Amino acid sequence: KLVRELKADLVYIDPPYNTGNAFEHYDDGLEHSIWLSLMRERLIILRNLLTEDGSIWISIDADECHYLKVLCDEIFGRPNFIDEVIWQRSYAPINLKKTLSRCHDAILVYEVI
């Protein structure tokens, strides 16, 4: 019996940003190495669900963005990195820090070849 494999052209994920503020029932405040290990497993699964010309878009904040970029370079291949899309998440400064206030997050975009 022939089973047709279902694949996606595009995957968009908005994983917990590892801030410790996500959900009561979700462990969101892990050490970077543990968080990256969990993300790695999920990204490999998602890569296998994409078509040969598909893309993955991953929303992330500045605290984890660069760690995640290195991980995605390993999984999807550094030459397959398309770009980092910056989007404004707030219009007013958040006065939680005494220095600069972040008002943006990033979306990492990779193609699968």
Q: What is the pLDDT of residues 28-69, one digit of tens each?
A: 556 778 888 989 999 999 999 999 999 999 999 888 899 999
Tell me if residue 83 falls in helix, strand or coil.
strand
- How large a percentage of the chain has pLDDT more than 90? 50
Tell me if residue 7 falls in helix, strand or coil.
coil
pTM here is: 0.79
Helices (runs of H) and strands (runs of E) counted in the chain: 2, 4
Confidence label for 90 from pLDDT (cuts 50, 70 and 90): confident
Compute φ and ψ for 78, nearest 5 degrees: -55, -40
Two tokens, residue 98: 């005494």
